Amino acid sequence: MGTRTGVAALAAAVLAGGCLAGCGAASGGPPDVTLAATTTIEDSGLLAELLHAFEREHPGLRVRALTGGTGQVLELGRRGDVDVILSHDPAAESAFVAAGSGAERRPLMYNDFLIAGPPADPAGIHGLADAAAALRRIAAARAPFISRADDSGTHRKERQLWAAAGLEPGRDEPWYSEAGLGMGDALRVASERRAYILTDRATYLVMAQGLELVPLVEGDPRLANIYGAIRVRGRDAPAVRAFVAWITSEGGHAVIGSFGREQFGQPLFLPGAPAATTQAATPVPEAVR
């Protein structure tokens, strides 16, 4: 699905009162809060947990969530089709607020990205600490690589890493495939094709048992994955303010910090903001490695 088409589909669902993915509101009547969130939050399972917890603590308030890539959800905000955005491209989010589309951005949570691939590792990248060097090896080996190619935060991070590697692979490269899919579906494609892929850690861990993929490159500070919550400008209803306040407060942090701990022995996301202010300088926390 191309970005323009995806935005139109998401907007149509909002305007029609429908729900695409991660719908937290019960059917019947308009929601009190309309949320646009990235697919990594949904595919990991965290989105549903957050919405259920908020609605339990705020009886009578209802949230409807739509999911897409970061580019898609930010565009919905620019169009004024949603109240709140949860995404993971801090630079784009800051620009969104600076341009007047967002009223405020609050730190939400963070984890990290990793490069996963087939256990055979034909490009020989296992154990590298430099993600850009790993991508150069993949390109040199012409090993299959699946790109989300959906203008998501993950796709934007991938493009940054290719640029750091001094490369710009495209459709003319037979080893490089543009999936145009969300994180979960893209991981399935990579597994089926025995290909490399950039993935957020949470979605990978949730899906790992059904994949023929293993983590190969992790720990590069450039792989930090930082999420923010943005209230769209002009969306000042008490329910909207209550949702943003809750999700970035101790109540939301408790849900985020406990999610995944029972199943994986560690949280899949850490609440709040990392100590460093830039992705390039942010150490990857041990808890999510």
Residue 29's pLDDT is what?
Answer: 73
Are residues 30 and 77 located together in one domain of the fold? yes
Q: How many domains is the chain built from?
A: 2
pTM score, two decimals?
0.86
Are residues 78 and 147 located together in one domain of the fold? no
Among the listed residues 268, 273, 260, 240, the one whose alpha carbon sits nearest the alpha carbon of residue 54: 240
Are residues 90 and 120 located together in one domain of the fold? no
Residue 275's pLDDT is what?
Answer: 85
Are residues 105 and 233 located together in one domain of the fold? yes
Whether the pLDDT of residue 255 is over 80: the answer is yes
The mean pLDDT of 16-39, rounded to a whole number, is 67
Are residues 106 and 182 located together in one domain of the fold? no
Are residues 207 and 153 located together in one domain of the fold? yes
Are residues 62 and 185 located together in one domain of the fold? no
Alpha-carbon dihedral angle through residues 195, 199, 201, 207, given to the nearest 10 degrees? -60
Are residues 230 and 204 located together in one domain of the fold? no
Are residues 26 and 128 located together in one domain of the fold? no
- SS3 percent helix, strand, coil of the chain, rounded to 5, is 45, 20, 35
Residue 10's pLDDT is what?
Answer: 53
Residue 1's pLDDT is what?
Answer: 38
The mean pLDDT of 87-110, rounded to a whole number, is 97
Are residues 202 and 256 located together in one domain of the fold? no
* Span 186-215, pLDDT tens digits: 999 999 999 999 999 999 999 999 999 999
Domain that residue 167 falls in: 112-223
The mean pLDDT of 240-246, rounded to a whole number, is 98
Dihedrals φ, ψ of 182, to 5°? -65, 175
- CATH number of the domain bearing residue 211: 3.40.190.10
Of 223, 258, 277, the last residue of a domain is 223
Residue 284's pLDDT is what?
Answer: 38
Residue 272's pLDDT is what?
Answer: 97
Are residues 118 and 189 located together in one domain of the fold? yes
Residue 28's pLDDT is what?
Answer: 60
Of 181, 197, 223, the last residue of a domain is 223
